[in-house]
Amino acid sequence: MKLDDEEHDILAGKAGPVPQQALQHQIKVGDFFGAEDFVPVTQAHIMADTESLGEAGVVWLEGLAAETSGQRRVRIPTITDPRGTDFAKAEWLGQTAAMVDLERRTIAAFEKLGVAMTNTCINYQTIQPPTRNEHTAFGDTGVVIYANSVCGARSNFEGGPSALAAGLTGRTPRYGFHLPQGRRATLRITVDHTPTSLNSWGALGGVIGRLAGNYWAVPVIEGIEGAARSDQLKHFGASMASFGSIALYHLVGLTPEAGRLSDVASPDLPSHRVTKADVEALQKSYHTDDKVDVVVFSAPQLSLYELGDLADLCDGRKLSVPMLAVTSPQVKPDSDRMGYTARIEAAGGSVLSGMCFYQSYAREISEARGWKRLATNSAKLVNILGGYGYRPMLASMEACVDAAVSGRLERI
Amino acid sequence: MSGKVFKARHAMGPTVRGPALVANDGFSARYDLDRIKGVFSRPAHKLAGQSYVGKILVLDTAKGGVATAWMLHEMKSRGIVPLALVLNSVNPILAQGAALGDVPMLAGFDEDITAAIPNGADVEVNPQMNLLRIV
């Protein structure tokens, strides 16, 4: 990679061992993908739940945080994805003291590195959405796909170590979605139906993610009617990223880079048609049982509007199985102030903050609480949880609340 | 050097040799693996139930989220880790994870590498030469 004078100095250790190590890591990744140089970034977002880090990752972070020479703190605003627990609910979740201790150590290390513990995967709704052409180093695939597609910002998937490296150096290797040519559509999708529910938006994203198939694919989508809401595109993108590892899509006439099809697509792209039946088939494929052990709203964290809708659905109901609603530390105080939390919890639900279900030792929670059959309106969550030993089922928020009341999930 | 060789466009890490575990399916440490037992655990995965420990995984593409960037490092620390990763295509997360975990990786071939390598074949991954070789 071509380095400027400042990068040469960092690599030579003139800023200290922490940024030096960060730049070495970035060069390794940049060389792998053939990046010619670095691009300055304005924000970084770090995914670092302790189930992923393990003891080894936490020790690695603590090593950086213990460094006393040179620059140890991040150079640009650097924030975090959800943690592996909500400390107030850890015991109820069946999480062990060792898990909670690992979380505390991780937080302490990040704070020494100057990282702001926002603990959110919806920072584009709650902290600061990026602007068009803003280069960022975002972790969490749902954040990246929203930032790239809806905001027109420029980010690759930056895993925890790379996002932290970007925070420490203020730059990232210039490849993939930082380059204009990487943002052109590679396949064309026509849909015959515009979803309304969040689970259907997620299922549509899942179908398109499977069709697109890999990180470098960029679907351009035609046929969506009207203007989609932020929460709808949140579920749509998070699911597409989850099912297909997709980091950017274009909606013709809606997203900023695709005013017209020809703005992002050449005429000869491979094309696919996605029908309402395809979306329903994906949802039905997960409906493997009629009983549920737990209902979870998470992945991504819920917005204030979603919590308001959930509170409306809970009024006057009595839940018979546990129901978790997971949100960000920025939204939770508003949910409390608006009375949404109290209304959900009056019915028997639980509102959790600063974590995300699948990033919180989901396998151990399942074993501790005996939860296997899980209903959710998150297509992303059903895609993930099979590997954790769950039987996840996808349904609307309304159907999920009904299931939490009756213990049974109705067939669609 | 003998045996059929395949040239990769992207390469990282040290040279290793071992048995190939092959499937035309994706890879995500979080979605697909029971990292404690060292087996593929997602029921729909074509390698479900099979151990990946010490194997050179030959798969189609990277799937899923960003957790693999940490998880390869954590798996390496416990010795419950693939010997190397060989894929038709990867995303940045796998590359970042391989860089932190020092796991050898090859990606980007002129043919479908999952069709070219027989399951169980003895293979050598040579990132310095960008080569995969059936021994």
Residue A383 has pLDDT above 70, yes or no: yes
Residues of B with CB under 8 A from a CB of A: 10-12, 26, 30-34, 41-45, 61-71, 73-74, 76-78, 89-93, 95-97, 99-100
Confidence of residue B31 (pLDDT cuts 50, 70, 90): confident
Establish if A411 belongs to a structural domain: no
What is the total count of domains within chain A? 3
Q: How far A154 CA sits from the closest chain B CA (Å)?
A: 14
On whether both A133 and A219 belong to a single domain, the answer is: no
> What is the C-alpha separation between A194 and B1, in angstroms, rounded?
57
Confidence of residue B30 (pLDDT cuts 50, 70, 90): confident
Nearest Cα neighbor of A326 from A371, A378, A373 is: A378
CATH code (residue A326): 3.30.499.10
On whether both A169 and A196 belong to a single domain, the answer is: no
User: In this predicted model, which residue has the larger pLDDT, A213 or A355?
Assistant: A355
What is the C-alpha R_g of chain A?
21
Establish if A402 belongs to a structural domain: yes
Q: Would the CB atoms of B31 and A33 count as touching at under 8 Å?
A: no
Q: How far A314 CA sits from the closest chain B CA (Å)?
A: 32
What is the C-alpha R_g of chain B?
13
The pLDDT of A399-408, averaged and rounded, is: 98
List residues bridging with B87 in a β-sheet: B59, B107
Q: How far A317 CA sits from the closest chain B CA (Å)?
A: 34
Confidence of residue B2 (pLDDT cuts 50, 70, 90): low
Which residues have CB under 8 Å from A342's CB, separation 6+? A336
Domain-terminating residue out of A235, A261, A278: A278
> What is the C-alpha separation between B4 and B128, in angstroms, rounded?
17
Q: Would the CB atoms of A215 and B77 count as touching at under 8 Å?
A: no
**Which residue does chain B place closest to A58, by CA atoms?**
B74
Chain B residues in contact with A47 (beta carbon < 8 A)? 65-67, 69-70
User: In this predicted model, which residue has the larger pLDDT, A296 or A51?
Assistant: A296
Which residues have CB under 8 Å from A382's CB, separation 6+? A286, A376, A392, A393, A394
pLDDT of A411: 83
Q: Would the CB atoms of A56 and B74 count as touching at under 8 Å?
A: yes
Q: What percent of chain A has pLDDT over 70?
A: 100
The secondary structure element, H or E, covering residue B39 is: strand B39-40
**Which residue does chain A place closest to B107, by CA atoms?**
A32
Residue B63 has pLDDT above 90, yes or no: no
pLDDT digits (tens, 9 = 90+) for A84-134: 999 999 999 999 999 999 999 999 999 999 999 999 999 999 999 999 999
Domain-terminating residue out of A161, A180, A199: A180
Look over chain A and give the mean of its residue pLDDT values, rounded to a whole number: 97
On whether both A72 and A59 belong to a single domain, the answer is: yes
Domain-terminating residue out of A215, A247, A278: A278
Establish if A119 belongs to a structural domain: yes
The closest CB to that of A387, out of B42, B69, B70, belongs to B42
Look over chain B and give the mean of its residue pLDDT values, rounded to a whole number: 95
On whether both A163 and A222 belong to a single domain, the answer is: no
Residue A317 has pLDDT above 80, yes or no: yes
Which residues have CB under 8 Å from B103's CB, separation 6+? B13, B72, B76, B81, B82, B84, B85, B97
> What is the C-alpha separation between A138 and A78, in angstroms, rounded?
9
**Structural domain harbouring A50:** 5-180
Residue A54 has pLDDT above 90, yes or no: yes
pLDDT digits (tens, 9 = 90+) for A384-400: 998 888 999 999 999 99
Chain A residues in contact with B66 (beta carbon < 8 A)? 47, 139-141, 157-160
The pLDDT of A291-320, averaged and rounded, is: 98
The closest CB to that of A141, out of B66, B90, B96, belongs to B66
Establish if A145 belongs to a structural domain: yes
The secondary structure element, H or E, covering residue B80 is: none
**What number of other Cβ atoms are within 10 A of residue A306's Cβ?**
24
Q: Which two tokens stand for residue A8?
A: 């040469």
On whether both A251 and A299 belong to a single domain, the answer is: no
In order of their start, the domains of chain B are 5-134 (3.50.30.10)
On whether both A269 and A304 belong to a single domain, the answer is: no
Q: What is the ipTM of this complex?
A: 0.92
Nearest Cα neighbor of B68 from B101, B116, B105 is: B101
In a mutational test of the A interface, the residue from B70, B103, B128 whose CB has the highest number of chain A CBs within 10 Å is: B70
**Which residue does chain B place closest to A244, by CA atoms?**
B63
On whether both A169 and A82 belong to a single domain, the answer is: yes
Grouping H, G, I as helix, E, B as strand and the rest as coil, residue B105 is: strand
Establish if A412 belongs to a structural domain: no
In a mutational test of the B interface, the residue from A1, A29, A31, A286 whose CB has the highest number of chain B CBs within 10 Å is: A29
On whether both A150 and A206 belong to a single domain, the answer is: no
List residues bridging with A353 in a β-sheet: A327
Chain A residues in contact with B74 (beta carbon < 8 A)? 52-57
The pLDDT of A224-234, averaged and rounded, is: 97
